[in-house]
Structure 1
């Protein structure tokens, strides 16, 4: 499994519109073969900042499958105008250290 991460800096005051646009854009990425899930998390300490986490079966499912699709152009049109600056997207592998939550 590949974990795609992006720290999204949304233009001030645009957070509600951005969240609506992300909800509209989500089916575009979800339709990609190899897509395993998406989370968008708001930052508690920095308003208008979000962490995007996307899980993929393989790196190429994102870099070639989604980004090479017609759906990606629509994704960009819906979302990229909200960012300042454009985010850095990174891809991570399986954990090398992991600690499960204690059992209750």
Structure 2
């Protein structure tokens, strides 16, 4: 299992519209991708224009190749991209340990 962590900053005052857009993009595009295993989205409290998107993939290549090199990636970016104040910072992580 691979965790994709995206640190997203949007333009001020667009939180309500972005909330709807990211949920739509996750439901209509990301959730249909090969190797998709789930997601979480957290909204900033102190920084209301900041979002942390966590997407779980079966393999790294499911994100970096299967999704990022597919037409679905362009569809995803057309839904959420207009809200970005800057390109998201994206990193991948493997699980070390977790609680029960």
Task: Give the 5 Å matches for 1:1-104.
Answer: 1-26=1-26, 27-95=28-96, 97-98=97-98, 100=99
The 3-state SS of whatever aligns with 1:37 is strand
Runs of 4+ in 1 over 3 A off after TM superposition: none
Shift of 1:34: 0.6
SS at match of 2:17: helix
- Tell me the distance in 2 between the aligned counterparts of 1:64 and 1:31: 15
Structure 2: gaps spanning 5 or more residues: none
In the aligned structure 2, how far is the partner of 1:94 from the partner of 1:39? 16
Q: Whose radius of gyration is greater, 1 or 2?
A: 1
Superposition deviation, residue 94 in structure 1: 1.4
Q: Normalising by the residue count of structure 1, what TM-score does the alignment of the two structures yield?
A: 0.88
Q: Would you say how many aligned residue pairs link Structure 1 and Structure 2?
A: 99
The Cα shift of 1:43 comes to 1.2
Q: CA RMSD in A?
A: 1.2
Distance 1:92 1:19 in 2: 25
TM-score under structure 2 normalisation? 0.92
